[in-house]
Chain A
Amino acid sequence: MLRIILQRLILLPILLLLFSVIVFWLIQAPPGDFLTSYLATVASSGSSIDAAQVDAMKTQFGLDQPFHIQYLRWMENLLHGNLGLSLEYQLPNTQLIGERLLLTVILALLSFLFTWAIAIPAGIYSALHKNSALDYFFTVVNYFGVATPNFMLALILMWLAFSKFGVSITNLFSSEFIDAPWSWARVVDLMKHIWLPMIILGIAGTARLTRIMRANLLDELHKPYVVAARAKGLPEWKLIFRYPVRLALNPLISTIGWYLPQLFSGSLIVATVMNLPNIGPLLLHALTQQDMYLSGSILLIYCFLTILGTLISDILLAWLDPRIRMEGA
């Protein structure tokens, strides 16, 4: 096991180097560059830039350099442990990402907890009471949950809140708290706002997870060891939770590592629609503005966390499930 972990860790920098080239190339692949996007943005608000100034900006941003120089420039920063400078913000990328990291993680953790807190009990209930009225109810709700894109749900709820209560439910804070220093009042304000994005972001995952839990558990419930345990007189409640539920959780555990990159990314579209101050909109905006150093940095961190997440999943699974551990050794 230790060997596998070490192997993976050695592979990590090589993979990251490869990803960095691919990511940077992909970002540069669409036509135009940051300046083209900037000119377009400027043109949209009725102004125009003098050619001399475009020259000046091109030199200032290093956009007159060829692709490999731009890449090396970025790499040089990365090797020095910083993520370079955002063209648009003119601030270090580390700072931009850092500022949004806390709220991104809080929101993602909450929606993750929401998902598991609802999905596991609901899944177990559905499996144990298969084809009962409540099972059908959960099933219908789940299909809706899976089928509705969460940004759509966000839009519908935003419209409802506006048309019924005349309020816009965007952002994670009331406007007076957006830039306030952390205080108890600010935490309370955050709690007042965060529940809705939490539900919106969690709902599809909840639905999917409930279905998986239900199916996994149904597979286990009719296996001979369950029948044997029941025949030996083990209390039903103890029986279910000690054996089939633990086994049914396995596939879920194996995917838990995948949440790691999600914790970091923030939900791109929902966060943009709801104007949440997390990393999602930052990435989306950096991509549309072709701010390649910022978007490249975020995507590279995302790659890093994906690799790490997969590794963590493997470790967790091996730890939880003796069968896999045996094979691994």
Chain B
Amino acid sequence: MPSPRRISPLAALGSFLAFSLLLAGCGPTATPTAAATSKPQATNTTAPTAEVITYKQAPILDAQVSSGDLPPVVERLPENPLVEEAESIGTYGGTWRRGFLGPSDYNGYIRIVADSLLVFSPDGTKVLPKIAESYESSADFTTWTLHLRKGGKWSDGSPLTADDIMFWYEDILQNKDLMPSIPSWMKNSDGSTVKVTKVDDYTLTWTYLGPNTTWPLEMANKDNGDRAYPAFLPAEYMKQFHAKYADAAALEKMVGDAGFKTWTELFAMKKNQAENPDRPGTAAWIPTTAVGKEVMVMKRNPYYMGVDTEGNQLPYIDEVRMIYFADAASLNVAAIAGEFDEQERQINLMNYPVFKEEELKGKYKVYTWPGFGGGDADVSFNQTYIKDADLGALMQNKDFRIAMSYAIDRGAIKESAFMGLGEARQPVPAPNHPFYPGDEYAYKFTEYDTAKANELLDGIGLDKKNADGIRLYPGTNKPVQIEISVVPAFGPWPDVAQLIAADWNKVGVQAIVQVRERALHFQMRASNDLQTEIWNQDTTGFPFTGNPKLDPRTMLAGGITVWPLFNTWYNTGGTDGLEPSADAKKIVELINKARTVGGAEQAAVAQELFKLWVDNCYEIGTIGLTPMVQGVVVVSNNMMNVPTALGNDWPLRTPGNGRPETWYFKA
């Protein structure tokens, strides 16, 4: 197996197939023995035999060990530590300088540490154990077993056991004050809560009512991300803030002293390491200052469970310093000046040429990690628009949507808005992803063909034009006007919108670009006031977990405007909104099915889903596979082991899946 660093993100996706096939091989029809996706796996989890390897530690810890403040490294590590491969064996020391935008940029910290039981491989195709030792499923995918590392410890030296997970399960997940509703991944198909059982101190099982193949992907995302509750918490530490365990008077005093009103607020804050550096963790670096400070400092965790292939305890780098910037633009200025050792987050794609210029002068290295998802500026059409019946009906017309796709000159968008990066395509996964529906669909309706567009528009009765050349609704004098709502924040979307509007005007559809502040845009999305919008499609790589944007059930704030009223229908159990169309129901059905099957079968369902999505043009793709979402990576010349290619997506916690604990400074 080649080193993960050399895997190109596209080629590497192919190995997802291997993983998928493995799952397929374990399907109900296969041998009934426990289906292992990773049970004591040779490649990534097993330490070199203990007799041969003597574990070594960072010199900075030597004094603490000799003074007796810290136990020796071999006692700090679990019996079977995580072995992390990297391009080269590193040297200890140094401070990694980064920038961040304060508490709202909370995930900037989350992504570096990727502090979860399971973690994605660098290419993003496999789920590997991290803090946990291994996991496996039953042959029918109803029971998943998680094995913890014997002797593994929290950063304060206390043991991490099954009790820490049971605390989350019993006292957080099922506590109505902390979690008003159970998250979907912990719900069975009948709405009941999935059962988690402690088998012994280091083993737990998740038992679903039916088959579930999304468990590993979900578990890889159970960290503090988005201020969520991770599936494992230091129970002994957290109990002092939990109403069930803490002394009522003492707890009330703590709540008051911290300025809170209820214990749940205090509890939520105390579990966030970035807000409460006292909370023990398991990541390679542990915060020593809070996220609200001018600098957020993280120092090495002497109990981190990972070692390199020669038995050196990771991480190599002693300290991470994230400097606060009030604004992304000034962060970019500092990045351009070369003030960071590695930075990809908040780097603006628009500055790419400047970074390349500076790279040529030898100032630093610049890599690109393109996104998985496939669409970086897509137009979605509201299928449940009711404020204007004519327009609503028009947007529901498939030929109209296809015509609008043909009318877009994607070459111009790529060159002027995306600086020649990426490619013209529909919102489907990257080519070597097993869910890729084929070139035929990826590029369907993407050629620039105004003749075809005009023909389609004439064909649906829009053959009369007014004096300005704008088409009229059949039998009326009402011109066809459509609004494109766009938020001037996350990508070059306002520019894309202007280009699209000009293209649509050319075929007689008057498009009006409305640049809106994001909160207003979100509110209009929720109140079903948007006609079309520009957003990105970054969830096609993981369409069955998390909150895929093409799932009609995904909350509107995290989705796109395709069918707001169907969303209401699903969220209210059918009492409000509009009954979903056949296509919407089909999509829900396909997603539900994919969650119960593995391997090739799952890939087939995914392909069917994307074919339906592209065929109907609910969301028109323009340009995709660009490094728009934190994919422009600036790396100082002496920072080593940073992957030149890396799977880049939120579920992967990029750059966390690039194993930052193995990065180091060349002496």
With contacts A54-B555, A179-B289 taken as known, whether A273 is within 8 angstroms of B330 at the C-beta atoms is: yes
Known: A38-B104, A52-B184, A62-B261. A179 touches B297 (CB 8 A): yes
Known: A56-B180, A179-B295. A275 touches B326 (CB 8 A): yes
The segment from A83-91, A214-222, A307-315 that touches chain B is A83-91
Q: How far is the CB of A35 from chain B (nearest CB, A)?
A: 9
Where chain B touches its partner, the secondary structure class is loop
A316 at the interface (CB under 8 A from B): no
B180 A42 Cβ-Cβ under 8 A: no
Do B520 and A56 touch across chains, with their CB atoms under 8 A apart? Answer: no
Interchain Cβ contacts under 8 Å between A and B, 20 examples: A32-B522, A40-B518, A40-B519, A41-B105, A48-B546, A50-B228, A51-B181, A52-B179, A55-B181, A56-B179, A59-B180, A77-B259, A89-B291, A168-B333, A168-B337, A171-B323, A178-B323, A273-B330, A285-B104, A290-B519
With a CB–CB cut-off of 8 A, which chain A residues contact B569? Answer: none
The residue on A at minimum CB distance from B332 is: A168
| Chain B: minimal CB distance from A26 (Å) | 15
User: A322 in the interface, Cβ–Cβ < 8 Å?
Assistant: no
Task: Pick the interface stretch among B68-76, B201-209, B262-270, B400-408.
Answer: B262-270
With A40-B519, A56-B178, A179-B295 known to touch, is A45 a contact of B107 (CB < 8 Å)?
Answer: yes
Collect the chain A residues with CB atoms within 8 Å of residue B108's CB. Answer: 45
Contact of B226 among A37, A47, A158 (CB under 8 A): A47
B260 at the interface (CB under 8 A from A): yes
Q: Is A289 an interface residue (CB 8 A)?
A: yes
Once the chains bind, are A60 and B330 in contact (CB under 8 Å)?
no
The CA of A285 and the CA of B327, in the complex, are separated in Å by 9
Residues of A with C-beta under 8 A to B177: 59
Q: Flag if A43 contacts B558 (CB, 8 Å).
A: yes
B294 interface residue (CB < 8 Å to A): yes
Contact residues of A between 26 and 40, Cβ < 8 Å to B: 30-32, 36-40
Q: Which 7 A-B pairs have the closest CB atoms?
A: A281-B326, A32-B519, A48-B558, A47-B650, A168-B337, A31-B523, A48-B547
Contacts of A51 in B (CB 8 A): 181, 184, 555, 571
Residues of A within 8 A of B184 (CB): 50-52
List residues of chain A with CB within 8 A of the CB of B178: 56
Please measure, in the bound complex, the distance between the C-alpha atom of A39 and the C-alpha atom of B522, giving whole angstroms: 9
What 9 additional pairs, Cβ within 8 angstroms, besides A91-B259, A271-B326, A275-B326?
A39-B558, A40-B489, A52-B180, A56-B181, A88-B103, A88-B104, A89-B103, A168-B339, A285-B102
- Size range of the chain A interface in the assembly: 35 or more
Tell yes or no: A274 within 8 A of B by CB: yes
Question: Contact: A46 with B650, CB < 8 Å?
Answer: yes
Interface contact B557-A36, CB-CB below 8 Å? yes
Instruction: Tell whether A170 is near chain B: CB-to-CB under 8 Å.
Output: yes
How would residues 244 to 284 of chain A score, 1 for a CB under 8 Å from any chain B CB and 0 otherwise?
00000000000000000000000000011111110001001
Which residue of B325, B337, B522 contacts A36 across the interface (Cβ within 8 Å)? B522
B655 CB–A CB distance under 8 Å: no
B527 — nearest CB in chain A belongs to which residue? A31
Say yes or no: A167-B180 contact (C-beta < 8 A), given A46-B649, A48-B558.
no
Give every chain B residue within 8 A of A162 (Cβ-Cβ).
Answer: 333, 336-337
Mark contacts of A201-221 with chain B using CB atoms, 8 A cut-off: 1 yes-contact digit, 0 otherwise: 000000000000000000000
Number of interface residues of B (CB under 8 A): 77
Q: Which residues of A contact B261 (CB under 8 A)?
A: 62, 73
Q: By the criterion CB–CB under 8 Å, are A272 and B327 in contact?
A: yes
**Residues of chain A contacted by B547 (CB below 8 angstroms):** 48-50
Q: Determine if B321 is an interface residue (Cβ-Cβ < 8 Å).
A: yes
Q: B327, A47: Cβ atoms under 8 Å?
A: no
Q: Find chain A residues with CB under 8 A from B289 CB.
A: 179
Q: How far is the CA of A59 from the CA of B182 in the complex (A)?
A: 14
Type the 1/0 row for A159-172, where 1 means its CB is closer than 8 Å to any CB of B: 00010001110110
Give 1 or 0 for each of B301-327: 1 = CB within 8 Å of chain A CB. Answer: 000000000000000000001011111
Question: Is there a chain A Cβ closer than 8 Å to B225's Cβ?
Answer: yes
Q: How far is the CA of A275 from the CA of B440 in the complex (A)?
A: 49
Q: Which of A41, A61, A175 contacts B104 (CB 8 A)?
A: A41
Binary per-residue interface labels of chain B (175-192) against chain A in the complex, 1 for a CB within 8 Å, 0 otherwise: 001111111110000000
Smallest Cβ distance from B324 to chain A, in angstroms?
7
Output the least CB separation between A169 and chain B (Å). 9
Distance in angstroms from B129 CB to nearest chain A CB is 23
Distance of A276 from chain B, by nearest CB (Å):
8
Contacts of B290 in A (CB 8 A): 91
Q: How many Å from the CB of B642 to the closest CB on chain A?
A: 19
B227 cross-chain contacts in A, Cβ below 8 A: 53, 57
| Cβ contact within 8 Å between B264 and A42 | no
